[in-house]
Amino acid sequence: MTATIKLGQLAEFLGATLRGSAEKEITGLATLQEAGPAQLSFLANPQYRKYLADSQAGAVLLKAADAEGYAGDALVVADPYLSYARISHLFDPKPKAVAGIHPTAVIAEDAQVDAAASIGAFAVIESGAQIAAGVTIGAHCFIGARCQIGEGGWLAPRVTLYHDVRIGKRVVIQSGAVLGGEGFGFANEKGIWQKIAQIGGVTIGDDVEIGVNTAIDRGALADTVIGNGVKLDNQIQIAHNVQVGDHTAMAACVGISGSTRIGKHCMLAGGVGLVGHIDICDNVFLTGMTMVTHSITEPGSYSSGTAMQPAAEWRKSAARIRQLDDLARRLRQLEKRVGDVTPDGKASSDG
């Protein structure tokens, strides 16, 4: 069902300054290029300002500076992108779960499922699990023994929680995610790998979001811990005993090796990799494809690798990189020779 909300109501919801008709009806959201007369758009990135004048949007979320000279209806706000994020939930077409247990679900007799939870078709909930009020568990989810899911959690279809996974309140987990799988732990005995039992669990804080096909392994001894407000994109691998601080965000395909600790309010761009047993302090930003091989103790932005360039130029650069060791050796020899020459150009007597 399409939502219809008057522009004045949206202004009140956001605490925005309304420029235009409070009675105008808004039925959805769209980009500046694609929005129609009944849709709301926003301008957050300056590179899209060129589309504003010709946009057919019924109204636009704008900063005060961008609203100057704009002839159309507008909601003037301090942060258009944040305002768009808040309004997006009003127009979200995602079906609302209905409390109750689907007849095909399989639930252990001693599992505790609140009456206000929604359990989807063919879901499995094992012994000792606790499901709080307002939790939605999608079709074909598996909730292992002694798992706990806090109030307002939402699990998309086909999420897997191994045993002893503890999840806080209002956590969102997308399809295919696996929490509590066995960490990659083996001891080598004369060339033969001996498996180490992974006897820890996984602890997830409040307001966490976990993307499609992301894996968070259980701890070897203590729990793997994900702090409050952490946001994880799709296809991320978090190994055993990793600790992630509150409100850190990671883009797709990040890989974190075992026992690494990441601070609060960090941002890891796509494809970042971290070796194990290192510490990353608070407020660190790692750019895309960065490989982190040692601890970071100072906040800031860090990168590794080389930027994209035409293939022919890259091959030349790669060849020069292979020559760096030889060039460094020759430079040291040259510096020694220069140091052995006196100011009058003669070789030093002690040389």
- Active-site annotation, residues: 240
8 A C-beta contact, residue 237 and residue 219: no
**CA 162, CA 185: separation in Å to the nearest integer?**
17
Strands 5-6 and 100-101: unpaired
Which residue, 153, 158, 155, 156, is CA-closest to 140? 158
Residues in the chain, total: 351
Query: Torsions phi, psi of 180, nearest 5?
Result: 95, 10
Nearest to 209 by CA among 182, 235, 228: 228
Distance CA 259, CA 291 (A): 16
Give dist(CA 24, CA 7) in Å, integer.
5
What φ, ψ does residue 345 adopt, rounded to 5°? 90, 0
Cα–Cα distances in angstroms (integers) from residue 253 to residues 128, 159, 172, 261, in the given order: 33, 18, 18, 18
Nearest alpha carbon to residue 221 among 183, 263, 192, 193: 183
DSSP state for residue 89 in the 8-state scheme: G
Which token pair is 314?
């890259």
Q: How far apart are CA 140 and CA 327, in angstroms?
A: 60
Tell me the β-bridge partners of 262: 244, 280
